[in-house]
Structure 1
């Protein structure tokens, strides 16, 4: 699973899953460009591999911004090997049931969670072709595969769209040895679930229905992501890896 000397773009990397994935790649010798609209939750200049890490602050739904970031990464390193789409939002206050969801929020959630993916993919593919290969991982959710009696309909629909788009990208990239896969996390301790910190009983209630008895961690997702990016997964494309402690296996 050698990542040394490779180049990666990771969106949604100011914290949570995206940051964990990005730092793990840097620890493996990858040049990593972190993208987020917010500043990083840690001081990247204090990281032991700071020379391999750069940060671009901006909106992932801005095509010109993303194009410029990816082009700069390629010019500076002469390659683009990996793309990880971890940007996403979950707005409990505005994203509710079909009859209650704020439709302006629906549009913005779709932009951030799904439109950003087609923007990053369309700008990354040409540089991966120049590199000679590439691997993409897109963070979806187990909620894409199930209904919910307390739904966030825009979030769930956007995550289902990620799975479908990933399959299309996989077919488009296959002839150039470019792979595309999705990861479907289950309930995971991350900044997106800050409500758990405010009310730990909610987390414990969630964990009570997970067969492995605990919520996931961002490290669990990072481990799965690095596997799918790596040559160990060279025959895996156009599919989904569920990382949910067995939640979807429940009847």
Structure 2
């Protein structure tokens, strides 16, 4: 549901943070950036002087904490947006707020997503539809909505968060999750072709197991942690900052000749 005018103004007032006087390096929107990988990505851009838009669905406090950290790191501007990526109305409301504040959008990071584990016999149709709606349809809705701002930018790119689960079936994740992330990879490749005439590059990052709150239960004992590490040739558990570095590279002009690609951040696991 869209916010009422009074609620919208209250949200704007509550989430405005200090703006630097110098021109931003660029303007970036990171969905699902109140914690985990999204938070690390937002902070990586903030450290380079970008104006950063942080979105959250339910935990405003976490989003505000991320925003304050981004400001301290040197973000040119920080905007916090409440946004449900599965709701066209919610995404459109966020678009209106951002369009009224920024001249264009250089980078869109489609990070918001949910994890789902379990076999197909334990996966209900409701589970399936929820995972696909958040992880795949959400990418479509956000990209379609923010495309006008991307097209206005002097340079622009989109980076979608896929997963190694979308590349191989030998992963502890549900069929719904694997299908959703495989769909993100297919969408990435098609959009790379479709948006190339506008100068908009589209790539994806496909991490393996990343140490975030969402997967904490998988590594909450030394034995569990060791098992996860041994799945990867580099014998490590990937950190959100590792993913953020890959995303930053693909999103910025340093990779200006790269589009339609899927960059694995998997500590060598895809080679096994």
TM-score, structure 1 length as denominator?
0.91
Say how many residue pairs are matched: 245
Choose which of 89, 100, 114 in structure 2 pairs with 1:75: 100
1:25 aligns with 2:45: yes
Q: Note the 1:1-20 alignment, pairs <5 A.
A: 4-20=24-40
Q: 1:51 to 1:177 in 2, by over 3 A?
A: closer
Q: Which consecutive segments of 4 or more residues in structure 1 shift more than 6 A?
A: none
Q: Note the 1:235-250 alignment, pairs <5 A.
A: 235-250=257-272
TM-score, structure 2 length as denominator?
0.85
Structure with more contact order per residue of length (Cα contacts < 8 Å, sep ≥ 6) = 1
1:129 aligns with 2:158: no
Instruction: Give distance in 2, aligned partners of 1:89 and 1:199.
Output: 23
1:79 to partner: Cα distance: 1.2
1:38 to partner: Cα distance: 2.7
Work out whether residues 163 and 205 of structure 2, in 8 Å CA contact, stay in contact via their aligned partners in 1: yes
Residue 137 of structure 2 corresponds to which residue in structure 1? 115
**Structure 2: runs of 5 or more not aligned:** 1-22
Q: 1:150 to 1:129 in 2, by over 3 A?
A: closer
Root-mean-square deviation (CA, aligned residues, Å) is 1.8
Work out whether residues 228 and 236 of structure 1, in 8 Å CA contact, stay in contact via their aligned partners in 2: yes
1:151 to partner: Cα distance: 4.1
Instruction: Give distance in 2, aligned partners of 1:174 and 1:98.
Output: 38
Residue 211 of structure 1 corresponds to which residue in structure 2? 233
Residue 36 of structure 1 corresponds to which residue in structure 2? 56
Instruction: Give distance in 2, aligned partners of 1:249 and 1:63.
Output: 39
Work out whether residues 85 and 117 of structure 1, in 8 Å CA contact, stay in contact via their aligned partners in 2: yes
